[in-house]
Amino acid sequence: MINTKYPEGFLWGAATSAYQVEGAALTNGKKASQQDIINQENYETRGFATADIASDHYHHFREDIALMKEMGFTTYRFSIAWSRVFPEGVGPVNEEGIQFYRDLIDELLKNGIEPIVTLYHYDLPWALVRKYNGWLNREVVADFEYYASYIIEEFKNKVKYWTTINEQSIIVQFWTQKCFIPKTLQSNNQLRYQINHHMNLAHAIACKLVHEKVPNGLVGAAIGYAPVYPLTSKPEDVMAAQNAHDLHNGYYLDIYFKGIYTKSAMIYLESKGLAPKIEPGDMELMKEGYSDFLALNYYASECAKACPEEEELRFAGVNWTGVKGAMDGHERQPGFFQMCTNPNLDTTDWDWAIDPTGLEYIFRDIYMRYNKPLIITENGLGAFDQLTEDGRIHDDYRINYLREHIKAMKKAMDFGVEVIAYCPWSAMDLLSTSNGVKKRYGFIYVDRTDDDAKECKRLKKDSFYWYQKVIESNGMDLD
């Protein structure tokens, strides 16, 4: 078996997003984002923590970076909160807001940690939702350009790697959690794909801006990506898996790398009245805004089977509790595919299929298809960690998960796949997008609960020491 070393300069680190770690939701001029509102509602209805304090990274960022440095990070992927910099979405910049990101980036660079900046991770300024319903309205694209242009100009000499929009495909599935959608519009599923179209335009604009402004800059989207396996080898299930792949994966990758909508997916959406409205010039813009790499958020694989035409359309369910098996349903696209549980794989407590080979599979598939370098911007295991009496967190399940995924990544690399960086989710515990803070992902434990933010004290989990060894050995010591 081929067994090469990691390439010179391979980046090891981890990821977070602004509203999930920063807290200081209304501090020093920041105004609310839609996530402050959505999470307030989740707090009231489900008892999950709000985004008000999150992991209080805003006040702990130097300590957090020191811990990253101690683990040996050479990169850190994080996002910028648009409403910290432009509290109203557009208009005057909030000096204290942008200063936070100047300080953060300078602190990273001082510690030899390469920043990977995400421009948008679900947290649209609430002011733009109030003004015109946010991403539902095409006006948002111009406002995104205003924001992105400012940020890219500000950091063009300090940040080389840029990711544009986080997980468009997941936004389509879970749109009311990732965007604020007024109740009266929630039954109109075409709007999911319209939002995605607006994001495609925003993505293309951001790519062009990086290419224009950043010397040697590299840019791409961060996509939530899962391979889709057929439930059986019956030809109709294999076809359903292909259909699901086209609509879940190809539909995004073809935009990023070819500037086109995958035809099969588009024809299906048109036949159901779900296709986005495209204006003259849109597709030209998408071709101009090409990507240099693809950033992948990989957690799980998916499984599909044939779906009768007379079934009713529905989107993915959520497991709100962390009780295995409590996921409330699967996506059904009538006549095209329906998602289902893969009987061959174990799952997390939140019903996400654990599948390291799936990572190797998508790496090989994407790279051979598009021939562009890849970055892992997320990969990780959400779990109910326990702080034990000895003040430790024994998260061997997380270590096992990450070890097998790193091995899978390496196998793909040994077969020629070019990978720039590995940034698992997450550097520190944070507010989950759908399960409060009790679902933990970090190497660094943040001592708080959903009800009580306490002092957000930082503690090193067992995975912290394990990952330190992994990085020190440049991926060779995984024991």
Residue 400 found at the interface with ligand BG6 (CB under 6 A): no
Distance of CA 289 to the CA centre of its chain: 20
Closest CA to 20 of 385, 296, 428: 428
- Alpha-carbon gap, residue 338 to 188, rounded angstroms: 20
Residue 382 found at the interface with ligand BG6 (CB under 6 A): yes
Closest CA to 249 of 311, 178, 186, 173: 173
Residue 79, burial from CB neighbour count under 10 angstroms (0-12, 13-18, 19+): buried
- Only one of the segments 92-100, 162-170, 284-292, 305-313 lies at the binding site for ligand BG6 (rule: CB under 6 A); that segment is 162-170
Residues identified as active-site: 167, 378
- Only one of the segments 52-60, 137-145, 229-237, 429-437 lies at the binding site for ligand BG6 (rule: CB under 6 A); that segment is 429-437
Question: In this structure, is the dihedral angle defined by the CA atoms of residues 121, 127, 128 and 129, taken in order, positive or negative?
Answer: positive
Q: Name which of 29 and 424 has its Cβ closer to ligand BG6.
A: 424
Q: Name which of 189 and 434 has its Cβ closer to ligand BG6.
A: 434
Smallest distance, Å, CB 217 to ligand BG6?
A: 22
Smallest distance, Å, CB 224 to ligand BG6?
A: 5
- Only one of the segments 49-57, 405-413, 427-435, 447-455 lies at the binding site for ligand BG6 (rule: CB under 6 A); that segment is 427-435
Reported as type and span, the H/E element at residue 271 is helix 263-271
Q: Name which of 249 and 297 has its Cβ closer to ligand BG6.
A: 297
Angle (deg, nearest 10), helices 57-71 and 95-110: 10
Question: Collapsing DSSP states into helix, strand and coil, what is residue 133?
Answer: coil
Smallest distance, Å, CB 195 to ligand BG6?
A: 16
Query: What is the per-residue binding string for ligand BG6 in 221-260, x denoting contact by CB under 6 A?
Result: ---x------------------------------------
Residue 163 found at the interface with ligand BG6 (CB under 6 A): no
Residue 439 found at the interface with ligand BG6 (CB under 6 A): yes
- Give the CB-nearest residue to ligand BG6: 432
Smallest distance, Å, CB 341 to ligand BG6?
A: 18
Q: Name which of 268 and 425 has its Cβ closer to ligand BG6.
A: 425
Query: What is the per-residue binding string for ligand BG6 in 283-312, x denoting contact by CB under 6 A?
Result: --------------x---------------
Choice from 434, 460, 462, 469 touching ligand BG6 (CB under 6 A): 434
- Only one of the segments 29-37, 151-159, 164-172, 444-452 lies at the binding site for ligand BG6 (rule: CB under 6 A); that segment is 164-172
The interface with ligand BG6 within residues 40-79 (CB under 6 A) comprises none
- Alpha-carbon gap, residue 305 to 199, rounded angstroms: 29
Give φ, ψ of 23 to 5 degrees.
Answer: 70, -150
Q: How many alpha carbons lie under 13 Å from residue 239 in its C-beta half-sphere?
A: 9
Residue 321 found at the interface with ligand BG6 (CB under 6 A): no
Task: Calculate ∠ Cα 426-199-376, nearest 5°.
Answer: 30
Q: Name which of 209 and 381 has its Cβ closer to ligand BG6.
A: 381
Question: Collapsing DSSP states into helix, strand and coil, what is residue 391?
Answer: coil
Q: Name which of 75 and 433 has its Cβ closer to ligand BG6.
A: 433
Residue 115 found at the interface with ligand BG6 (CB under 6 A): no
What distance, in Å, lies between the first and last C-alpha atoms of the chain? 20
Q: Which two structure tokens, joined as six digits, stand for 99?
A: 């200063």
Choice from 34, 50, 432, 463 touching ligand BG6 (CB under 6 A): 432
Residue 438 found at the interface with ligand BG6 (CB under 6 A): no
Are 418 and 400 contacting, i.e. CB atoms less than 8 angstroms apart? Answer: no
Report DSSP state, residue 428.
Answer: B
- Alpha-carbon gap, residue 89 to 400, rounded angstroms: 42
- C-alpha distances in angstroms, 38 versus 48, 181, 272, 382, 431? 11, 10, 29, 21, 12
Q: Look-up: residue for tokens 């939140």?
A: 350
- Note the residues at the interface with ligand BG6 (CB under 6 A): 17, 20, 166-167, 170, 224, 297, 378, 382, 425, 432-435, 439
